[in-house]
A and B are shown apart, each in its own frame.
Chain A
Amino acid sequence: MAKKIYERPIIRPLNTGMMNKFGTRTEYLPVTHIDGVSVKSLIKQYGSPLFVFSERQMRENIRFAKRTFETRYPKVQFAWSYKTNYLNAICNVYHQEGSWAEVVSRFEYDKAINNGVPGDKIIFNGPDKTDEDLRVAIKNNSPIHIDHLDELYRLTDIATEMKVKPRVAIRVNMDTGIYPMWDRFGFNYETGQAWDAINKILASGKLDLVGLHTHIGTYMLTPSAYGVAAAKMADLALGIKNKYDTVIQYIDMGGGFASQNTLKGSFLKGSDIVPPISEYAEVICTALLNAGFKNTELPTLYLETGRALIDNAGFLLGSVIANKRLSDGRKATILDFGVNILFTSFWYDHKISPAQEFGMHTEDTVLYGPLCMNIDVIRENISLPPLNAGDQVVVHHTGAYTVTQSMQFIALRPAVVMIDLMGKPHVIKKKESLKDLEKNEEMPEFLKQFKLV
């Protein structure tokens, strides 16, 4: 008789309690391939853990988003949000699809320039722009989105000194009926701060007010809030036209569209509750089209969505280091990736699939990372089939903010691979080495030697 495939023996109590209409077992199908490339071969070639990006999925996402907005509004421009993922290869996929760049720091700004994005197609956001940053942005004719009055005054001085009229927008925050209200960026709509800033800009004549920008939140599950925001932005733009006879060229609605990740504490999975991008598009475009703009003065709609365009294109592959039993009887599995490279696990319950076949039984498990730190918990509780040391797992929806927020802490950061449209993997970032880590360190002469006894 042929031997059977081994699976760790498990026993779990059957609890009676509230009925769960969703059952206890969901989506635990093995994920053995990504875009036709086997997980095992990727790990064998590039090591574990490993970030993998699907070029196909990224292009599908941006094309779908563009189509969704462009079929509802005549003038739409996407700008790739660099902070979401600024690996150059990733940025260039979106630039090839026609996206401009949206940056929030000088370092991101320089990355966009180095990637070949023309200066006038780099939107410079964020509260931290030095005088030098502003000068560079002015020289490159980049639209500068002003965050606070200090910046407005500095920019006005610099523009006077340089004898140019920079293209600017103001960032506007507002009450859209959602909580928390993001009021730390930009000028408030309801209290009149936004109008004060607009009046200062247009009265001075030193800056060219070309746009209005808002970004109402992140992982927004309520599309109607965007409709409120778009209506308020349109109201400002029309007010500017009436008062100053100045046509606002664009309204930047920022980003914040949710991806299909599941927020911690959410009863339902993200894939069940996240609105489709068409719902965001519908309310934004309808609000702008109904606002009362003349056809010739319809502002271009800028969108800086990042998360929704890349989260499902990123995967983190990893391996099981060990299993153990905690003192309260819970099973614990230690993986070779932790919160150092999966920072998003602090607020998401990431979907995690085994990368090999398994039986029908599952066990409630705590997933720990490899760091010798108590905070290193990937999932507090997940129902998984028994995994053995050496088995592999695939973490889903890791495209947004994982690479950019990853920390070099205790472990070196892994390689990043992109699978192209032909199913061929390419390294887009090499695995970090000790040399990389120490290249900026310096050792004072008096500390170079020591003796241990």
Chain B
Amino acid sequence: MRIKKNIAVSDTGFLFNPSTGDSYSVNPIGMDIVQLMKLNKENDEIKKAIMNDYFCDDATFEKDFYDFTMVLRNYKLLDDE
């Protein structure tokens, strides 16, 4: 699951899709996940990195990560079609 290559990601929490002109705001943990996806990290690696940085249990992150990626897909920001 990867973020499309053309998506511009700022350090301050904004995403820009140049092919549609849409922009998005992302909260800090969402930004961490997006950055990891940009680095082509696998889901397990992303989970490990986040769990290492945040107070969170496995199940909570798994549910939230599933939801987050579903939204990214809905906004057509993923390159996994």
Minimum C-beta distance from A261 to chain B (A):
30
Interface residues of B in 39-81 (CB under 8 A from A): 52-56, 60-61, 63-65, 67-68, 70-72, 74-75
In the complex, are the beta carbons of A4 and B71 less than 8 A apart?
no
Q: Which of B15, B53, B61 contacts A11 (CB 8 A)?
A: B15
* A9 and B60 form a contact (CB under 8 A): no
Is B8 interfacial (CB 8 A cutoff)?
no
Chain B residues with Cβ below 8 Å from A4 are 28-29, 53-55
| B68 neighbours in A (Cβ, 8 Å) | 8-11
Contacts of A389 on B, CB cut-off 8 Å? 60
Q: Which residue of A lies closest to B15 (CB)?
A: A11
| Bound-state Cα–Cα, A10 to B27, Å | 6
A9 touches B53 (CB 8 A): no
Cβ-defined contact, A8 with B64, below 8 A: yes
* Bound complex: CA A389 to CA B60 (Å): 9
* Interface presence of B23 (CB below 8 A): yes
User: Is B10 at the interface (CB under 8 A from chain A)?
Assistant: no
A6 touches B23 (CB 8 A): no
CB-contact partner of A361 in B27, B52, B63, B64, under 8 A: B27
Contact of A12 among B24, B52, B60, B64 (CB under 8 A): B24
Chain B residues contacting A386 (CB-CB under 8 Å) are 27
Interface size class of A (residues with CB under 8 A): 20 to 34
- Give the chain A neighbours of B28 by CB distance below 8 A: 4, 7, 359
Alpha-carbon distance between A54 and B52 when the two chains are bound, in angstroms: 43
B15 CB contacts on chain A under 8 angstroms: 11
How far, in Å, is B43 (CB) from chain A's closest CB?
A: 13
Given that A323-B67, A329-B71, A386-B27 are contacting pairs, would A9 and B33 also be in contact in the complex, using a CB cutoff of 8 Å? Answer: yes
Q: Is the CB of B29 within 8 A of A9?
A: yes
The yes or no answer to A77 lying at the interface (CB within 8 A) is: no
Interface flags for B11-40 (1: CB within 8 Å of A; 0: not) read 001110000001111111110010000000
Closest A residue by C-beta to B31: A9
Complex Cα spacing A118 to B22, Å:
69
Closest chain A residue to B74, Cβ basis: A329
* B70–A325 CB distance below 8 A: yes
* CB closest residue in chain A, given B68: A9
Cβ of A14 within 8 Å of any chain B Cβ, yes or no, is: yes
**Nearest CB of A to B9, in Å:** 11
Task: Check if A10 sits within 8 Å of B26, measured CB to CB.
Answer: yes
Asked whether, in the complex, the Cβ of B26 is within 8 Å of the Cβ of A9, the reply is yes
Q: Which residues of A contact B33 (CB under 8 A)?
A: 9
Contact mask for chain A residues 385-400; partner B; CB cutoff 8 A; 1 contact, 0 none: 0101100000000000
Q: How far does the alpha carbon of A3 sit from the alpha carbon of B33 in the complex, in Å? A: 16
Given the complex, which residues of B lie within 8 Å of A329, measured CB to CB?
A: 71, 74
Contacts of A359 in B (CB 8 A): 27-28
Partner of B75, one of A8, A13, A325: A13
CA–CA, A261 to B52, complex, Å?
Answer: 43
Q: Considering only CB atoms, which chain B residue lies closest to A5 in the complex? A: B55
Distance A360 CA – B75 CA, assembled complex (angstroms): 22
Closest beta carbon of chain B to A219's beta carbon, Å: 36
Contact mask for chain A residues 1-26; partner B; CB cutoff 8 A; 1 contact, 0 none: 10111111111111000000000000
Nearest A residue to B21, CB-CB: A16
Chain B residues lying within 8 Å of A11, measured Cβ to Cβ, are: 15, 24-27, 30, 68, 71-72, 75
Q: How far is the CA of A6 from the CA of B61 in the complex (A)?
A: 9
Q: Provide the bound-state CA to CA distance between A105 and B72, in Å.
A: 57
Query: Cβ of B30 and Cβ of A9 under 8 Å apart?
Result: yes
For residue B64, which residues in chain A have a CB less than 8 angstroms away from its CB?
A: 8-9
Residues on B with beta carbons closer than 8 Å to the beta carbon of A323: 63, 67
Residue of B nearest to A8 (CB): B64
Q: Is the CB of A9 within 8 A of B54?
A: no
**Assembled-state Cα–Cα distance A136/B54 (Å):** 67
Q: In the assembly, what is the distance between CA of A359 and CA of B60, in Å?
A: 18
Contact residues in A for B56 (Cβ distance below 8 Å): 6
Interface residues of A in 271-324 (CB under 8 A from B): 323
Please give the distance in Å from B78's CB to the nearest CB on chain A: 12
Tell me which of A7, A10, A13, A361 contacts B23 (CB under 8 A). Answer: A13
Complex: how many Å from CA A12 to CA B24? 5
Residues on B facing A (Cβ under 8 Å): 13-15, 22-30, 33, 52-56, 60-61, 63-65, 67-68, 70-72, 74-75
- Cross-chain pairs A/B with CB under 8 angstroms, 8 sampled: A5-B55, A9-B27, A9-B29, A10-B30, A11-B72, A13-B22, A359-B27, A389-B60
Q: Which residues of A contact B (CB under 8 A)?
A: 1, 3-14, 323, 325, 329, 359-361, 386, 388-389
7 new A-B pairs (CB below 8 Å) besides A6-B29, A7-B28, A14-B14? A6-B54, A6-B55, A9-B29, A10-B26, A10-B27, A11-B72, A361-B25
